[in-house]
Amino acid sequence: MRIRITGTRAETAETAELLAAILPVLQTTEFAPNREGIDLGEVYLEIQSAGSGVHARPRPNPPDR
């Protein structure tokens, strides 16, 4: 399964890290800017799908903010 995360470089990195803590991530792409001069871009995560018999990891404690 592929998940697309869209946002700033910092937002996509943080979200990819949070998802990797609870889902079995097989591959993560590099941040790809949407257009020149725009801070937004996307990252794709390839994860092991639930139908494969692999279950999500337990949730970590939320980070202190």
Q: Looking at the domain assignment, is residue 11 inside a domain?
A: yes
- Amino acid 61: pLDDT: 64
Q: Looking at the domain assignment, is residue 9 inside a domain?
A: yes
Query: Cα separation of 19 and 38, whole Å?
Result: 25
- Domain of 27 in residue numbering reads as 2-50
The model's pTM is: 0.72
Q: Looking at the domain assignment, is residue 61 inside a domain?
A: no
Residue 40 sits at φ, ψ, to 5 deg, of -85, 150
pLDDT(14) > 90: yes
The pLDDT tens digits for 27-63 are 999 999 998 778 999 999 999 987 766 555 555 666 6
pLDDT(25) > 60: yes
Q: Looking at the domain assignment, is residue 41 inside a domain?
A: yes
Report the domain count for the chain: 1
Query: Is residue 40 within 8 Å of 34, Cβ to Cβ?
Result: yes
Q: Looking at the domain assignment, is residue 62 inside a domain?
A: no
- Amino acid 38: pLDDT: 83
**Once rounded to an integer, what is the mean pLDDT over residues 10-21?**
96
Q: Looking at the domain assignment, is residue 64 inside a domain?
A: no
Collapsing DSSP to helix, strand or coil, 46 comes out as strand
Q: Looking at the domain assignment, is residue 30 inside a domain?
A: yes
For tokens 């970590």, name the residue: 60
